[in-house]
Each structure stands twice: as structure tokens, then as C-alpha cells.
Amino acid sequence: MSPYRRRAKRDQNEPSLVKVIRQCGGQWLPLNVTDGPDGVIGIRGQSLLAEIKTETGKVKPQQAAFHRDWTGGPIYVLRTADDVLALLK
């Protein structure tokens, strides 16, 4: 099975969080990797992997396993604009 999927299910708060990322001077690149992070934030020469969840959304077991096994650095779970601001400050 390929790790890539055609359409990722996006959380309803993604557009508002992407807006905050852009207001902070960052860029958002959505990813379509099965059980992987939702996207990459590019800011100040850094690439940050991010998983966007609603305030009540849960990280699925397969996603948690991907996050745990990923050796390229942390994957940040972002739920609110405050989470984005805290990460990008």
C-alpha cells in the first residue's frame, strides 16, 4: 500500500490556523501522506511538521505511531490559534 493518498481529510479549523501561520510570516504546504502530518510550516529558515486537530479531535493510533517513529524531528499538534502563535514566536 502506498503511503500517499489522493485526498486527505482536513479538519474544519485548518483554514483559520493556516491564516494565522501566514499572518506570522510563515508558509503552509499541505501533505497527503497516510497517517502522516497534515502539512509543513516554513518559517525563518525552518521546516516544522504539523498535525492540525480540532480542540476535541484525537490523534489516531496510526498517526501517533507515525509521530513516534518519525526520526526527522517533532511533529507539532496544533488545535488553536494560540497553539500556532506559541509555536511560531
Query: How many helices (H) and strands (E) in the chain?
Result: 3, 4
Q: What is the pLDDT of residue 84?
A: 98
For residue 2, pLDDT over 60 is answered with no
Residue with cell 509521530: 67
Q: Is 21 exposed, middle or buried (0-12, 13-18, 19+ CB in 10 A)?
A: buried
- Give the pLDDT confidence score for residue 1 in this predicted structure: 47
pLDDT, averaged across the chain = 92
Domain extents for the chain?
A: 14-88
Give the right CATH number for 14-88 from 3.30.70.980, 3.30.420.40, 3.40.1350.10, 3.40.50.740: 3.40.1350.10
Please write the tens of the pLDDT for every residue from 13-34.
Answer: 999 999 999 999 999 999 998 8
